[in-house]
A and B are shown apart, each in its own frame.
Chain A
Amino acid sequence: MTIEEMRMKYGVRRAPGISRRDFLKIGGTGLAGATLLGAVPGCGIFQKSGGGQGGGVGNSIALNLANPIKDLNSSSTTDSASTTILDNVTEGLYRLDPNNKPVPAQAESVQISDDGLNYTFTLRNGIKWSNGDPVTSHDFKYAWLTALDPDTANIYAYIISTFVKGADEFNTGKGSAEDVAIATPDDKTLKVTLLAPSPYWLGLMSFFTYYPQNQKFVEKQGNNYAQTPDALLYNGPYTMTSFNPTEGATLEKNENYWDKGNVDIQKVAIDIVKETATGVNLYETGELDNQELNSEYVTEYRDTPDFWSQTLFVTWWTVPNQKVPILQNENIRRALQIGFDRKALVDKLLNNGSVAATGYVPDGIAGPGGQTFREAQGPVLPEYDPQKAKELWQKGVEEVGENPTITYLSYDTSLSRDLSTFLQSEYEKMGAKIEVNVQPYNRALELQETGDFQLSQFGWIGDYDDPMTFLDLWLSDASFNTQNYKNPRYDELITAAQESTDLKKRMEMLLEAERILVEEDAALAPQYFEGEAWLIRPALQKSYVDHPYGGGWDMKWWKLEG
């Protein structure tokens, strides 16, 4: 019998489990259907990101913030992404102009007493919040007291409590809010008393912790304050019309801003793209108008018209912990200062606009007269000298009697790793034995805080335009001084400078203090003054303002040329 005949005789038997086959059919269709159905409500998941639109078109631009927006409450925030936005949608008493000098903003003028302690601000007429409420002196007092309140636990409370009388007592729980020397005799007048005269406190009025807040509005919003665009009030050049903490925001020109006539850019789309390569690609297609560069891209773009760089008020250095016997030896510390090639570090490793350190206080910070601090002081760091470094190290080892392995604490970013490895190999040439200890950022900060390190990578961002923001870290009782540096003469100079009313004498004391710190005591080994390199649309570059302290991007001054 052929197969055909067998079939005819017995019939074709259906395979058992057809129900399973149907199941598979149904299952497959179901899955496909579900996906298609998912596509319909899935349309909801395709949102326009915070910005995403190309810039330079119709006076609108798209910027890359690169970091998520953590907290838009000016009296508790600390991160630079949030403060960048706040700096453009809110405004304080004074604002920094393109030359980083304070100019009147919400205040139209200030009277300073002869002893430099009493400030009387007069607010401008007609300034309003975005809900129509007028901006009053009470708004400033309320915000400042909230920032100082111990329950707010604001890291930046010190930016007020270091200067204003009574503020530190309130912040540490030893005094009351009433004793803080801020008075509001009427809606347009704000009186503040400082602890000591300060040439740079006025510039700090542009610092976000000093921005005003509308008490009625804030209390009404409760826990929802600053979570959505409607839960914030605006008195700055822009209002925020959309906001997502991880995707960005949209800013639009504020039609109620007192100086709106001078605001050129109508709309700013702010995106958050963390990956540099992606950001550069987006810049190339016109979807972003700025993008920060790392060292590989700097070489590629350095000679193009889109390249822009500046130095910041940031110094990076190696700090020796003087509880370690070998690091107590001055020759050893001097060897650390001159035993590595600063120029190679900056040119080859960083290649991002940073410059080799010539002292401790970075370039650009104000000094005596019209000079910067660095111009007045000159270099206080000896040049790179591997031969001398070797001699000094050997001398130090003889004096101490040992050459132990010293650990170098470093962060786990790729830059920090490369840098510490570089230092390790340089220092080994002079006879040192260095072991690199890489820790996650949080952990490294903890170790630094408790003084649990021998050598450490350390950096500091200046909070205001004065050398004191760097120099007061080394007071023997400063909370950041966990490296056991003690020099009574240094303490005397700094304390006297903090209380001095003679500005000229004060600067001289600060210059002397830095000489003691770096030249005499070799208390630290400065590495570089940090810079930044960006791609910025040529049409924007001429007016581009990125303040080295406090502010950051100050879009009020930006104009799109041509």
Chain B
Amino acid sequence: MTRYVARRVIYMLVTLFLIASITFFISKMLPGTPFADPKLTPQVRQQLFEKYGLDEPLYVQYVKYMVNVAQGDLGNSYYFEGRPVSQMILSRFPVSMFIGVQAVIFGIVVGLALGIVAALRHNTIWDTLAVVIAVIGVSVPTFVLGPVLQYWLGLKLGLFPIAFFESWWHSVLPSLVLSVFVISEIARFTRSEMLEVMGQDYITLARAKGLSGLAVIIRHVLRNALIPIVTVLAPLTIYLVTGTLVVEQIFAVPGIGEQFVTSVFVNDYSMILGTSLFFSVLFILALLIQDISYGIIDPRIRVHGAKE
């Protein structure tokens, strides 16, 4: 197992190196420069380029950047004068993670319930209802749902705060909006997996041996249905954790998704690169955890080297 993990870590580092290089060159190809001001003259632009080392040849900038990254220095933001990128990322990330994880957990619980009900009551009104709810959840965009909930639940009914992030209660609406997508995905997966598993031979055998319906569900059906959920969970978590721009904009939540998109629009080179690397590390870690979980949940998926 340790050999497996070690090998995966090495792959991870190689992947990160490639990602850093690719995003570096792509960000240099973005039209425009970090300095967008209608009052900028070519002379001042040249002064700015010299100040930030942007007038050096590309390969020199590349080498300098990679050396810094290897030491953990992601440089300073071009947009926010003098602010270290790593500090800005780390200060905003917990917020996005909190909202995202909350959305995922809520989404899983509700999604599982919805999916189980739909599968058990297959071809009845409950099944159809659950599927309809799931499809609506996936179809309504967050930038519609967000302001609608903000207006009705926040302003009109005064149940929730409208914006900012000052208490747990402030996180409810943003998480709710994000969880809708999760609920739909989980519900549909759970339902179809359960339906498939329920038709298998070993389920019939278990029932023949006298296991009660509920026990059958929990011990056999659900466990097998969990695999596709685990597959989807890792990318889903990352997606939500990094904070959809829309939710953070609407609810004025100081998260990392909003910061990232702003940095792309203003050509904040160092912030773009730093955030991309950060996301990559998260995603690769999540995949690693996911693979290890597979091996434990389902012995049919033998992780190479686990036998050792």
Residues of A within 8 A of B (CB): 3-4, 6-7, 12-13, 15, 17, 20-21, 23-24, 31-32, 35, 38-39, 42, 44-49, 52, 68, 70-71, 73, 76-78, 150-158, 172, 223, 226-227, 244-247, 271-275, 277-278, 281-282, 284-285, 287, 439-443, 445-446, 449, 459-461, 479-480
Contact = CB atoms under 8 A, between A and B. Distances in A.
Contacts of B223: 20-21, 24
Given A35-B102, A446-B32, A155 B163 contact: no
Contacts of A153: 44, 47-48, 50-51
Contacts of A151: 47, 51
B80 to A, nearest CB: 5
Contact of B254 (A247, A281, A282, A446): A247
Interface string B256-283: 0001001001110000000000000000
Given A24-B223, A76-B81, A446-B32, 6 more contacts: A24-B297, A153-B44, A278-B252, A282-B162, A449-B42, A480-B41
Nearest to A43: B168
A281 B163 contact: yes
A290 to B, nearest CB: 15
Given A17-B299, A446-B31, A246 B259 contact: yes
B155 interface: yes
Given A223-B82, A278-B250, A446-B33, A23 B296 contact: yes
Given A153-B51, A227-B82, A443-B31, A281 B41 contact: no
B37 to A, nearest CB: 5
B249 A45 contact: no
B251 interface: yes
Given A15-B219, A246-B254, A71 B98 contact: no
Contacts of A449: 40, 42
Nearest to A42: B98
B81 A155 contact: no
B38 A445 contact: yes
Nearest to A154: B44
A281 B80 contact: no
B213 interface: no
Contacts of A459: 38
A49 B254 CA distance: 9
A111 B41 CA distance: 34
Nearest to A71: B81
A278 B223 CA distance: 43
A68 B47 contact: no
A15 B224 CA distance: 14
Given A20-B223, A77-B81, A445 B47 contact: no
Given A48-B166, A445-B38, A278 B47 contact: no
Contacts of B7: none
A287 B81 contact: no
A440 B32 contact: yes
B43 interface: yes
A226 B170 CA distance: 30
A345 to B, nearest CB: 21
21 contacts: A13-B209, A15-B219, A15-B220, A24-B297, A42-B168, A45-B98, A46-B167, A70-B80, A152-B47, A152-B51, A172-B43, A227-B82, A245-B83, A247-B254, A274-B249, A278-B251, A281-B162, A440-B31, A440-B265, A446-B33, A459-B38
B44 A46 contact: no
- The 7 A-B pairs with the shortest beta carbon distances in the complex, nearest first, are A442-B32, A153-B47, A71-B81, A442-B36, A443-B31, A153-B48, A479-B41
A528 B33 CA distance: 29
Interface stretch (B17-25, B146-154, B186-194): B146-154
B95 interface: yes
A155 B31 contact: no
Contacts of B102: 35
B105 interface: yes
A275 B250 contact: yes
B79 interface: yes
A70 B81 contact: yes
A250 B259 CA distance: 22
Contacts, number: 166
Contacts of B165: 45-47, 49
A70 B79 contact: yes
B239 interface: no
Interface of B: 31-33, 35-44, 47-48, 50-51, 79-83, 92, 94-95, 98, 101-102, 105, 147, 150-151, 154-155, 162-168, 170, 206, 209-210, 219-220, 223, 226, 249-252, 254, 259, 262, 265-267, 296-297, 299
B43 A479 contact: yes
Contact of A42 (B38, B94, B150): B94
A282 B163 contact: yes
A155 B252 contact: no
A278 B164 CA distance: 10
A13 B39 CA distance: 80
Contacts of B267: 442
B170 A442 contact: no
B220 A281 contact: no
A547 B92 CA distance: 34
A443 B42 CA distance: 15
Contacts of B210: 3-4, 6-7, 12
B145 to A, nearest CB: 13
B101 A38 contact: yes
B163 A39 contact: no
Contacts of B31: 439-440, 442-443, 446
A35 B98 CA distance: 9
Contacts of A271: 164, 252
A44 B91 CA distance: 11
A47 B94 contact: no
Given A442-B33, A479-B41, A281 B166 contact: no
Contacts of A76: 81
A441 B40 CA distance: 13
A155 B37 contact: yes
B83 A227 contact: yes
A78 B37 contact: yes
A44 B166 CA distance: 10
A154 B44 CA distance: 7
Contacts of B164: 49, 52, 271
Contact of A156 (B36, B39, B81, B154): B39
A442 B79 CA distance: 13
A155 B44 CA distance: 6
B255 to A, nearest CB: 10
Contacts of A277: 147, 150-151, 250
Contact of A23 (B81, B250, B252, B297): B297
Contacts of A38: 98, 101
A441 B32 CA distance: 9
